[in-house]
Amino acid sequence: MIGRIRGKLLDKQAPEILVDVSGVGYEIQAPMTTIYQLPAIGENVELFTHLVVREDAHLLFGFATAQDRALFRSLIKVNGVGPKLALTILSGMDVHDFVRCVRDSDTAGLVRLPGVGKKTAERLLIEMRDRLRDWHVDGVAVAEGSAQLPVRENGHLLDAESALIALGYKPQEATRMVTAVKSDTITSSEELIRAALKKSVKS
């Protein structure tokens, strides 16, 4: 794993930059929040990096701070969020603003980001709340702020979908399974999961 890059900045064409390290040019994708902090072309730069290995490519992502990279790594673990969308999220708001959105269950704030619909925003709030529970914003921990929030509308539906995806079902399939069994009488994610799995076995 390439964890840090230090070298001369050769080019920056958002979202990609080129850094020369001892004669080797590294192509690095970076969010706008990092690109805004880059020095002028020809100057030295140091970035915290994350390497994504795919069958068809090795992609290197760079960040101005270790905290930015930590948030990126948490985001790509969320169901339905890949490196490209994670980069878009970090380009649209900094770490401080994102953590505040999670703490305050601010779906509207996340939906304003390109590529983030209401469903994705709600899933981000659900899954990132646990991952960021010890992070602080404005002196208040995410866990403390979230404890006083009202119950999310249809939150049990998203929780059930996330659980099914964790069990190995594809996101679209999990959504279809939950939609097929949801009703006003089912008010918990546990009931939804049991009903969805039971129906899938019968069908």
Higher pLDDT pick, 76 / 172: 76
Residue 95, domain extent: 66-147
Write out pLDDT tens, residues 49-83: 999 988 888 999 999 999 999 999 999 999 889 99
| CATH number of the domain that residue 55 is part of | 2.40.50.140
Residue 11 has pLDDT above 70, yes or no: yes
Looking at residue 155, what is its pLDDT? 61
Q: Which of 63, 86, 102 is the last residue of a domain?
A: 63
Residue 139 has pLDDT above 90, yes or no: no
Give mean pLDDT, residues 183-187. 71
pTM equals 0.69
Write out pLDDT tens, residues 30-54: 999 999 999 999 999 999 999 998 8
In a shared domain, residues 58 and 73:
no
User: Which residue carries 């999961």 as its tokens?
Assistant: 193
Residue 112, token pair as written in the block? 């304003």
* Backbone torsions φ then ψ of 15, nearest 5 degrees: -95, 15
In a shared domain, residues 73 and 121:
yes
Give mean pLDDT, residues 88-94. 91
Q: Which of 102, 125, 147 is the last residue of a domain?
A: 147
In a shared domain, residues 130 and 170:
no
In a shared domain, residues 70 and 140:
yes
**What's the CA gap between 196 and 179, in Å, rounded?**
9
Mean of pLDDT over the chain: 83
Domain count, the chain: 3
In a shared domain, residues 53 and 94:
no
User: Which residue carries 């049991």 as its tokens?
Assistant: 194
Measure CA of the first residue to CA of the last residue in the chain; give whole Å.
44
In a shared domain, residues 111 and 169:
no
Q: Which of 63, 85, 103 is the last residue of a domain?
A: 63
- Tally of CA atoms within 13 A in the half-sphere of 150 that contains its CB: 4
Looking at residue 54, what is its pLDDT? 83
In a shared domain, residues 77 and 142:
yes
